[in-house]
Every structure is written in structure tokens, then in C-alpha cells.
Chain A
Amino acid sequence: GESVGLHLPTLSVQEGDNSIINCAYSNSASDYFIWYKQESGKGPQFIIDIRSNMDKRQGQRVTVLLNKTVKHLSLQIAATQPGDSAVYFCAENMGGYSTLTFGKGTMLLVSP
């Protein structure tokens, strides 16, 4: 089976709320993780990444948390906006340059 999966297929929030998208991975050897955003008709767009020697990384309105003990990754989006509506994928690098394994994705729906 897939080594990366998501708990919630769809997440609906109100504009201005904070969103949290979760992801579980199964390969403890994975050393690099990325979150991608994919809008309809487009390819995945890089959001933020984190290496396994870190447990938190912040970007603009986004934060990624990595818990290696339970093999869990989360993406936090602050003050969610309608433009954040998309499918979000977590991906892990299990070895090899730029060889990513993606989960199935979570659809984020933001209501005005």
C-alpha cells in the first residue's frame, strides 16, 4: 500500500479560520517531506518543505510540523482565504534524488 496517507479527504473551513491538514507516513527512513497545493487544471505547486532533522518550519501563513515519533506531518494555514481552496498533497522522499511518494490528497474548501 501507499506509505503516505491523509486522514481527511475533505476539509471545509470559513474564511479567516486556521486550517490544519494532516498526513501519516509509514517509512521511518524518509528524510524529506514536501507539501504541494494543486488547483484544478494545474500541476502541483510547492508550498513548503521540511527535512527530517527538523520538527517545525514556517513560511508565509503556513507552518509544517513533523513528528517522527508517530510518523505524522501536518500543514497549518493561518487566516485561510478562498484562494487557498485546492487539493493539498504531502509527499515524502524515501531515497533517491527528487523521487517523491505522494499521498492521495485532501481537498480544502474555504467558504467566504
Chain B
Amino acid sequence: ETGVTQSPTHLIKTRGQQVTLRCSSQSGHNTVSWYQQALGQGPQFIFQYYREEENGRGNFPPRFSGLQFPNYSSELNVNALELDDSALYLCASSLRGRQNEKLFFGSGTQLSVL
């Protein structure tokens, strides 16, 4: 186990709705990254948070947004859900202090958009 916990584990929403996913990082880690994994694909980088600010973003529209809290936990918010947003959303934590630190992933939230 990595110590990274995500909630909920599964979620069903309808098109146009909004969703919030949550992540608690591993103890001692100060950086949180979010990835989207479509079925049969590798994870795709959404964004990263460090010191409560977005620090790097992949090719995702602004309706994907996030927060990082003082305790390093994080939220991923998706507005105006589309069918293609159905995927496994993975949170990963790491300790920024030197380059190329390892990412430790949670088990993800499976989001289904109907």
C-alpha cells in the first residue's frame, strides 16, 4: 500500500453535472498530481499541485480544476461533465526536494458519466 487514499472509489454522474474527487497524500509528501486513465490506456497527466498552487498542467480544458490544502490533501473538480470524462482518476503524491522523485499512486476513483 502506498498510503495515498482516494474517495469515493466509484461514482456515477450524468452529463452536465459537476463532480469532486478527493485525495489524501502519503504522509510526508508535499506534491499531488492527478491523472486520468481511460479504459485500456495509460494514465494521462491532468495537473500537479505544490504549495497549494497549480504547478504544471496537461492537455485538459479549464473545466478540470483542483485544489491543494495546507495538509497536502487535494481535490479534483470537473464541471459540465461529458461522456468522455468516464475514466479512472488517479491521484499520486510525491516529495518535492530533488528532481525525479517517485510518484506513489492511490487506487483511483472510477467515474462513469451517463
Contact = CB atoms under 8 A, between A and B. Distances in A.
Interface of A: 2, 4, 31-32, 34, 36, 41-46, 49, 51, 89, 91, 93, 96-105
Nearest to A101: B45
Contact of B56 (A4, A34, A96): A96
Nearest to A43: B105
Contacts, number: 74
Contact of B103 (A31, A51, A100, A104): A100
Given A98-B92, A99-B56, A45 B101 contact: no
Given A44-B90, A44-B105, A96-B56, A102 B100 contact: no
A4 B99 CA distance: 20
A43 B102 contact: no
B108 interface: yes
B110 to A, nearest CB: 9
Contact of A97 (B31, B41, B44): B31
Contact of B99 (A34, A45, A89, A97): A97
A32 B108 CA distance: 24
B42 A51 contact: no
B16 to A, nearest CB: 28
Instruction: Give the interface centre of A44, A102, A105 by most chain B CB atoms within 10 Å.
Output: A44
Contacts of A41: 107
B45 A45 contact: no
B96 interface: yes
Nearest to A105: B42
B31 A43 contact: no
Given A34-B102, A97-B50, 17 more contacts: A32-B100, A41-B107, A43-B107, A45-B105, A46-B104, A49-B102, A97-B99, A98-B31, A98-B48, A98-B94, A98-B103, A100-B45, A100-B103, A102-B35, A104-B41, A104-B42, A105-B40
